[in-house]
């Protein structure tokens, strides 16, 4: 009897020592929690290092994952899989056979294949979706709009263009096993191309499991600002260092332009008309003054103080013939040259490009881009390369000599 009791106690001890309560994940949405639970190696919470950001940037620009940055989604089920698989997503393609080609042509009604065919096995697509989202392909709201061939169990897509535009990773952090990385597209033409984006995912070794990819609409048009953060923080001497008085004047007025101010200065008005973020309103100057936050009020005073100490890039203008401006001293300002370029183009082509902006400067040489926004792309009217001091130069497309002062 004593031995039976001892054996019973030992058996209970073994059972109890082999039992542990299941781990609990808190502070995440259900999709994030499920994704986080997949991680075997959880990164410590906090900011990502420069080295880690570099690795992630390389991974996000790979064929395997780049497509996850080409659609907006707040849950993985809303990912656009046409975008993800457009370039094959790094999967090994199924062999292009005569049978597949004939079945494809029969189903589409096409007479011949005129471009490349991307062919992916349905099983590979389903496995890839589960691996990169943690969900089954059947739960996706934007599945592939490719031709599915039941006889071969493959998806087929005919296309020629396989261009890829890379992204630049700017910052990132980890919280509860979820990576959130801020990045921007390089020369992309999408609807929110000028926004910074945030993509979130978990990692299991080198494998990524995506959760969301959304634009930060507060940064829309940030690349078109002189001071993109003038409404969210106090500027410092480092922000205005090296800027001339005219640039500072425009930077000060873009604070008002954010609030839709209309400008009596035609050169300033023309400048802001060329910015995608500018939306003029009927608000009075006093109403706009009242709408400024404290950062903006502080920065207006700060920039204005800097203008008086900054070097002048040009001088004021007065009415004259031709373009309506006349150089008085050392050279024309950027705003003046843009207006002169629009006037010149209108005079010689009976059309006024709505947008004129300085693309680059090198010494006294200024490159001016005249264009308009058409849908999601730009239609260029002219590129002018002009000497700031003389107002003369050449048409960079046709090579003709031009004089903006006439």
For the entire predicted model, the pTM comes to 0.51
Determine how β-strand 207-216 pairs with β-strand 355-362: unpaired
- Measured between alpha carbons, how far is 293 from 289 in angstroms, rounded to an integer? 9
From 281, 238, 277, 232, select the one nearest 254 (Cα to Cα).
Answer: 277
Domain boundaries, the chain: 30-217, 222-307, 334-403
Which residues touch 54 (CB under 8 Å, ≥6 apart)?
169
**Average pLDDT score over residue span 104-112:** 94
pLDDT higher than threshold 70 for residue 17: no
Rg (CA), the chain: 30
Q: Which residue has the tokens 């035609």?
A: 266
**Average pLDDT score over residue span 275-292:** 86
Q: Would you state the pLDDT for residue 151?
A: 93
Give the burial string for 98-120 (b: 16+ CB within 10 Å, else e): eebeebbeeeeeeeeeeeebbbb
**Average pLDDT score over residue span 280-289:** 88
Q: Would you state the pLDDT for residue 28?
A: 42
Share of the chain above pLDDT 90, in %: 42
For helices 334-349 and 266-273, what crossing angle results, to 10°?
80
Torsion of CA 124, 127, 130, 131, to 10 degrees: -100
Q: Which residue has the higher pLDDT, 32 or 209?
A: 209
Cα distances (angstroms) measured from residue 206 to each of 31, 62, 294: 20, 12, 45
pLDDT higher than threshold 70 for residue 326: no
pLDDT higher than threshold 50 for residue 19: no
Q: Which residue has the higher pLDDT, 231 or 303?
A: 303
Secondary structure string (H, E, C) spanning the chain: CHHHHHHHHHHHHHHHHCCCCCCCCCCCCHHHHHHHHCCCCCCCCEECCHHHHHHHHHHHCCCCCHHHHCCCECCHHHCCHHHHCCCCCCCCCCCCCHHHHHHHHHHHCCCCCCCEEEEEEHHHHHHHHHHHHCCCHHHCCCCCCCEEECCCCEEEEEECCCCCCCEEEEEEEEECCEEEEEEEECCCCCCCCCCEEEEEEEEECCEEEEEEEEEEHHHCCHHHCCCCCCCCCCCCHHHHCCCCHHHHHHHHHHHHHCCCCCCCCHHHHHHHHCCCCCCCCCCCHHHHHHHCCHHHHHHHHHHHHHHCCCCCCCCCCCCCCCCCCCCCCCCCCHHHHHHHHHHHHHHHHCCCCCEEEEEEEECCEEEEEEEEEECCEEEEEEEEEEECCCCEEEECCCCCEEECCC
Q: Which residue has the higher pLDDT, 49 or 265?
A: 49
Q: Which residue has the higher pLDDT, 379 or 347?
A: 347
From 164, 339, 159, 202, select the one nearest 265 (Cα to Cα).
Answer: 339
CB 385 within 8 A of CB 394: yes
**Average pLDDT score over residue span 12-26:** 40
Q: Would you state the pLDDT for residue 189?
A: 62
**Where is average pLDDT lowest: 69-78, 126-135, 237-246?**
237-246
Q: What class is the 222-307 domain?
A: mainly alpha
- Measured between alpha carbons, how far is 15 from 357 in angstroms, rounded to an integer? 76
pLDDT higher than threshold 70 for residue 158: yes
CB 120 within 8 A of CB 85: yes
Give the burial string for 202-217 (b: 16+ CB within 10 Å, else e): bbeeeebbbbbbebee
């Amino acid at each position: 009897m004593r031995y039976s009791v001892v054996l019973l106690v030992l058996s209970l001890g073994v059972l109890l020592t082999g039992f542990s309560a299941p781990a609990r994940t808190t502070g995440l949405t259900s999709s994030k929690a499920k994704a986080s639970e997949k991680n075997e190696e959880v990164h410590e919470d906090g900011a990502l290092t420069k080295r880690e950001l570099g690795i992630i940037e390389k991974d996000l620009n790979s064929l395997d994952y780049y497509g996850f940055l080409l659609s907006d989604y707040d849950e993985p089920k809303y990912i656009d899989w046409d975008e993800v698989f457009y370039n094959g997503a790094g999967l090994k393609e199924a062999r292009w056979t005569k049978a597949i080609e004939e079945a494809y042509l029969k189903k589409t009604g096409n007479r011949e294949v005129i471009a490349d065919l991307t062919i992916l096995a349905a099983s590979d697509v389903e496995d890839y979706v589960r691996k990169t989202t943690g969900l089954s392909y059947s739960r996706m709201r934007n599945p592939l709009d490719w031709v599915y061939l039941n006889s071969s169990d493959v998806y087929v897509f005919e296309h020629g263009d396989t261009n890829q535009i890379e992204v630049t990773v700017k910052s990132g952090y980890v919280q509860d096993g979820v990576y959130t990385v801020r990045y921007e597209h390089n020369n992309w033409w999408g609807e929110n191309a000028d926004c910074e984006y945030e993509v979130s995912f978990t990692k299991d070794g080198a494998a990524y499991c995506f959760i969301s990819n959304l634009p930060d609409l507060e940064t829309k048009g940030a690349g078109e600002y002189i001071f993109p953060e003038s409404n969210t923080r106090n500027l410092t001497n480092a922000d205005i260092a090296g800027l001339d008085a005219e640039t500072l004047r425009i930077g000060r007025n873009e604070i008002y332009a954010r609030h839709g101010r209309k400008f009596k200065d035609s050169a300033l008005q023309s400048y802001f008309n060329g910015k995608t973020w500018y939306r003029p309103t009927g608000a009075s100057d006093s109403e706009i003054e009242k709408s400024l936050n404290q950062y903006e009020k502080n920065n207006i005073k700060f920039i204005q103080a800097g203008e008086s100490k900054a070097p002048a890039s040009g001088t004021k203008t007065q009415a004259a013939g031709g373009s309506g401006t006349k150089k008085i001293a050392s050279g024309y300002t950027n705003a003046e040259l843009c207006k002169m370029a629009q006037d010149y183009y209108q005079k010689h082509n009976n059309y006024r490009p709505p947008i004129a902006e300085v693309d680059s400067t090198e010494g006294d040489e200024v490159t001016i881009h005249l264009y308009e926004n058409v849908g999601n792309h730009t239609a260029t009217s002219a590129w002018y390369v002009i000497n700031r001091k003389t107002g003369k130069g050449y048409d960079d497309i046709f090579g003709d000599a031009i004089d903006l002062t006439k």
